[in-house]
């Protein structure tokens, strides 16, 4: 391309056939709307909503995506009042449609709701690595780059009808092997060559005779995750429980009526929620529609995926963060071409191109991983509710420990015009019973002189498990509590030079690591002779908190050799299939203890587990965050739910220094209300969600004063806008409250200063709109980056 961006529209004097709304993909443009372009007659046959196009934008060419088409300019959404003369024409249509009008509408809502660039939101809906890009050369010219990830083809060999009459000559061993291999159906050349060494000559010979045929087709990478886990196979139960039938009935009614209801399946662990999802999806598929199931990344295991694949076979596409670029593209295309009609995946699976979407399910609705940490900072639950609204289908949320937000909305019965209802499943399905929960008071153990990691009840229970040849799960949660060093003399905790984050201690490498910027520091903690406190020089710089390895050592010492100890944490699951392999090992063992971090708390379904132990519940309770209790409750309830899923009764032992905490009491009594009523009252009192919405606005940059001035300007602009909002609200309470601006808890990260303010706003208020206008009015400031996090979870 020569860089000339003169519009070609009407060059031949012909009037345009149509007009298009185009989202221009320029990353730097802050808060864009679609732009109107004309479609010249020559392109009219090729263009459709979702096409990638080349357009002139200002004085440069740009890639854009068509989100709407109309015959006349006045019918084009957002283009009112534009004179036909000023409109430029689309230069070229680059690809077939890569997203739908529906995707465009959802992206538009997201950009408004989360105050994010429209192109950035729309890009979520585009094929991974599969759209053309513009490369900017140093001389100012542009070049079109083809998609980065190519497709792969595979060759499939199959027998023809002529094979029935063909007998290979006695000496043609390879031909016989080939015909045997194909007897049960077509096989790819790749698999044939894996099974037997090179069969290509035999294939050619038989192809010539017309006995076999070779066809080329698109290969789908990313579907071969086989597992031996017994629980990954699942046939439908003979009959649903009463709770399951009621929940399913409610979902099916909403599906049939095209209602955008949000249905919360509030079922204890093991109550058969997954069964409800499976049956609801069957109903949706039978009606010729498609479904998305979101599960938290950490429970997106072979076991979960296996249950869906064993019910729906090859029609299931899977998305998770461990897919390679090629696998991701192929799974995407399986969906786009209709080869897959059910999608199971993490957060981002919401954006894959299912046509005729009829249901979205979000399992473990309360999980924080549904909130995206970078722009656009969306929450999958909220986006899915909006998708259900725009698409006219229900959203199903499932949890044993629903979020305060979901419970609140169900109590009210609606949220932003959508109906929210809760279906309870208080009992376990099948043979399982809820386990007994025992609280081991570590204060008393300590006072009694005990110094072991395991209290007496836990020690005895573990030994009983080994004796009875059963299995146990032992949780050692360290989320948000990484081991660190602390000076026993002055209490100083070493922090990063570039950030103000406390450094995490890594035993194996003897390093302190910063989890904000990745810096590492070599260190020799006490009792090594080289240790010295950076502040007072004392040599008692010692490790705090114990790692999973330490618990593992104690466990191996305690347990008899016939009980296998399997450790599952970030270190032991580093390899691609390590996670799956360890679970298979646990599944196959006669008697075993699975020791792990929070990654073992969720989703595992092993009927032989009769004991669940929690090494120390308190780290989870002691986080400086108003959601810490909710998360701790969820974690304990989930891990307790791993016990007693089969015929044999289960027992749970929780070790804690805080036995009176409402979270611990609620888990012990199987009575959620003990926790929720306490938590709800605290949130209402201190004005936290769901009673208000929290928005965190952060500015960062290398020049502290500049950053501070900027965040101050944005805060003032937001309050001006909010005054306008508030005037209409007319309630007694202040509808918008602004906290700050102040420096963030993490004051510096990657050598950048961070300042923020927090907005608490009444739930019905359009705070996003106020922010949108405020940010646009203040404009950008060089050297300062602004991030807006609506419905923020991370306030640090």
Among positions 8, 246, 287, 490, the unique one binding Zn ion when judged by CB under 5 A: 490
Out of 100, 131, 269, 516, point to the residue binding ligand ADP (CB under 6 A). 269
In this chain, which stretch among 114-122, 231-239, 371-379, 711-719 interacts with ligand ADP, using CB under 6 A? Answer: 231-239
By CB under 6 A, how many residues form the interface with ligand ADP?
17
Q: Is 274 in the site for ligand ADP (CB under 6 A)?
A: yes
Q: State whether residue 23 is helix, strand or coil.
A: strand
- Asked if the bond preceding 764 is cis, omega within 30° of 0, the reply is no
The per-residue DSSP string of 428-487 comes to -STT--PPEEEEEEHHHHHHTT--SSS-HHHHHHHHHHHHTT-EEEEE---TT---EEEE
709 CB neighbour count, 10 Å cutoff: 14
Least separation, in Å, of the C-beta of 349 and Zn ion?
A: 32
Query: Rg of the chain over CA atoms, in angstroms?
Result: 30
Considering only residues 515 through 574, tell me which ones interact with Zn ion, judged by CB under 5 A.
Answer: 516-517, 519, 533, 535-536, 538
Binding to ligand ADP by residue 650, rule CB under 6 A?
no
Closest contact distance (angstroms) between CB of 268 and ligand ADP is: 7
From candidates 84, 430, 534, 769, binder to ligand ADP by CB under 6 A: 430
Where helices occur in 313-433 by DSSP H, the ranges are 325-336, 380-391, 404-412
Stretch binding ligand ADP (CB under 6 A), from 63-71, 272-280, 455-463, 660-668 = 272-280
Q: Does 450 bind Zn ion (CB under 5 A)?
A: no
Q: Name which of ligand ADP, Zn ion, none residue 721 binds, using a CB cut-off of 5 to 8 Å depending on partner kind.
A: none
Q: Which CB sits closer to ligand ADP, 635 or 722?
A: 635
Contact set for ligand ADP, span 172-191 (CB under 6 A)? none
Structural contact between residues 290 and 316, judged by C-beta atoms closer than 8 angstroms: no
Does residue 241 touch ligand ADP according to CB under 6 A? Answer: yes
- What binding mask, one character per residue, do residues 589-628 give for ligand ADP by CB under 6 A, x or -? ----------------x-----------------------
Q: How far apart are CA 398 and CA 262, in angstroms?
A: 11
Measured distance CA(232)–CA(307) in Å, rounded:
5
Which of the choices ligand ADP, Zn ion, none does residue 273 contact, using the CB cut-off of 5 to 8 A by kind? ligand ADP
Within positions 702 to 761, which residues make up the interface with ligand ADP, using CB under 6 A? none
The yes or no reply on residue 7 touching Zn ion (CB under 5 A) is no
| Cα separation, 330 vs 158, whole angstroms | 23
How many C-beta neighbours within 10 Å does residue 684 have? 13
Exactly one of 100, 234, 299, 656 binds ligand ADP (CB under 6 A); that residue is 234
Residues 6+ apart with CB under 8 A from 598: 298, 475, 477, 478, 479, 635
Q: Note whether 237 binds ligand ADP by CB under 6 A.
A: yes
- Strand boundaries in 78-152, DSSP class E: 92-93, 133-136, 142-145
How far is it, in rounded angstroms, from Cα 243 to Cα 265? 9
For 360-395, give one letter per residue: b (16+ CB within 10 A) or e.
bbbbbbbbbbbbbeeebbbbbbbbbbbbbbebebbb
**According to the binding rule CB under 6 A, does residue 401 interact with ligand ADP?**
no
Least Cβ distance, residue 245 to ligand ADP (angstroms): 9
Is there binding between residue 637 and ligand ADP (CB under 6 A)? no
Whether residue 195 contacts residue 202, with contact meaning beta carbons closer than 8 Å, is answered with no
Asked whether position 651 contacts ligand ADP by CB under 6 A, the answer is no
474 binds ligand ADP (CB under 6 A): no
Per CB under 6 A, residues contacting ligand ADP are 234, 237, 239-241, 244, 267, 269-275, 429-430, 605
Binding residues for Zn ion, per CB under 5 A?
487, 489-490, 492, 496, 498-499, 514, 516-517, 519, 533, 535-536, 538
């Amino acid at each position: 391309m020569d860089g000339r961006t003169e519009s070609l529209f009407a060059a031949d004097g012909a009037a345009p056939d149509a007009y298009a709304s185009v989202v221009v993909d320029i990353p730097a443009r802050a808060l864009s709307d679609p732009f109107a372009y004309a479609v010249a007659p020559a392109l009219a046959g090729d263009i459709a909503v979702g096409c990638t196009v080349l357009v002139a934008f200002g004085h440069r060419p740009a890639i854009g995506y068509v989100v709407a088409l109309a015959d006349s300019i006045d019918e084009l959404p957002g283009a009112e009042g534009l004179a036909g003369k000023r409109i430029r024409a689309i230069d070229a249509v680059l690809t077939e449609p890569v997203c739908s009008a529906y995707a465009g509408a959802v992206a538009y809502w997201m950009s408004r709701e989360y105050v994010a660039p429209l192109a950035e939101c729309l890009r979520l809906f585009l094929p991974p690595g599969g759209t053309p890009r513009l490369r900017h050369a140093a001389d100012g010219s542009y070049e079109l780059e083809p998609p980065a990830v190519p497709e792969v083809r595979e060759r499939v060999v199959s027998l023809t009808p002529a094979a029935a009459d063909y007998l290979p000559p006695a000496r043609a061993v390879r031909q016989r092997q080939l015909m045997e291999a194909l007897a049960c159906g077509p096989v790819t050349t790749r698999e044939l060559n894996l099974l037997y060494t090179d069969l290509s000559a035999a294939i050619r010979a038989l192809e010539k005779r017309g006995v076999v045929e070779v066809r080329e087709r698109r290969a789908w990478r990313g579907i071969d995750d086989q597992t031996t886990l017994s629980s990954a196979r699942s046939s439908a139960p003979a009959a649903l429980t009463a709770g399951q039938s009621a929940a399913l009935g409610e979902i099916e009614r909403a599906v049939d009526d095209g209602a955008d209801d949000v249905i919360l399946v509030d079922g204890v662990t093991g109550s058969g929620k997954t069964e409800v999802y499976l049956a609801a999806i069957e109903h949706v598929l039978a009606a010729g529609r498609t479904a998305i199931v979101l599960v938290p990344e950490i429970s997106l295991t072979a076991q979960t995926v296996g249950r869906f694949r064993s019910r729906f076979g090859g029609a299931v596409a899977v998305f998770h963060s461990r897919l390679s670029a090629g696998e991701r593209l192929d799974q995407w295309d399986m969906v786009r071409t209709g080869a897959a009609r059910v999608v199971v995946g993490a957060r981002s699976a919401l954006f894959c191109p299912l046509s005729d979407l009829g249901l979205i399910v979000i399992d473990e609705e309360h999980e924080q991983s549904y909130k995206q940490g970078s722009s656009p900072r969306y929450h999958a639950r909220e986006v899915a509710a909006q998708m259900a609204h725009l698409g006219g289908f229900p959203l199903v949320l499932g949890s044993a420990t629903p979020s305060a937000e979901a419970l609140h909305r169900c109590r009210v019965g609606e949220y932003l015009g959508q109906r929210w209802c809760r279906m309870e499943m208080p009992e376990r399905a099948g043979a399982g019973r809820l386990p007994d929960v025992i609280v081991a008071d570590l204060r008393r153990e300590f006072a009694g002189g005990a110094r072991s990691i395991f209290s007496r009840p836990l020690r005895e229970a573990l030994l009983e498990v080994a004796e009875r040849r059963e299995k146990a799960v032992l949780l050692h949660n360290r989320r948000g509590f990484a081991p660190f060093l602390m000076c026993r003399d002055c209490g100083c905790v070493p922090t990063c030079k570039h950030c103000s984050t406390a450094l995490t201690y890594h035993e194996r490498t003897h390093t302190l690591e910063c989890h904000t910027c990745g810096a590492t520091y070599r260190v020799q903690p006490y009792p090594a002779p080289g240790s010295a406190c950076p502040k007072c020089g004392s040599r008692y710089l010692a490790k705090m908190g114990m790692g999973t390895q330490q618990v593992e050592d104690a466990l191996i010492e305690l347990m008899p050799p016939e009980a296998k100890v399997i450790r599952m944490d970030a270190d032991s699951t580093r390899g691609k299939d390590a996670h799956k392999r360890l679970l298979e090992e646990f599944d196959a063992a006669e008697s075993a203890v699975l020791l792990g971090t929070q990654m073992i708390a969720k989703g595992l379904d092993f009927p032989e587990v009769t004991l669940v132990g929690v090494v120390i519940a308190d780290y989870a309770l002691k986080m400086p965050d108003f959601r810490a209790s909710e998360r701790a409750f969820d974690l304990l309830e989930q891990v307790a739910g791993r016990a007693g899923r089969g015929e044999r009764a289960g027992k749970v032992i929780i070790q804690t220094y805080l036995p009176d905490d409402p979270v611990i009491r609620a888990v012990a009594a199987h009575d959620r209300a003990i926790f929720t009523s306490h938590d709800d009252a605290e949130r209402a009192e201190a004005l936290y969600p769901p009673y208000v919405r929290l928005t965190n606005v952060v500015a960062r940059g290398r020049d502290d004063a500049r950053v501070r001035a900027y965040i101050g300007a944005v805060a003032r602009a937001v309050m001006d806008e909010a005054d306008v909002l508030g005037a209409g609200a007319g309630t007694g309470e202040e509808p918008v409250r602004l906290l700050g601006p102040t420096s963030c808890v993490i004051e510096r990260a990657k050598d950048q200063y961070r300042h923020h303010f927090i907005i608490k706003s009444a739930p019905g208020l359009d705070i996003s709109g106020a922010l949108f206008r405020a940010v646009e009015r203040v404009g950008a400031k060089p050297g300062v980056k602004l991030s807006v996090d609506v419905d923020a979870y991370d306030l640090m």
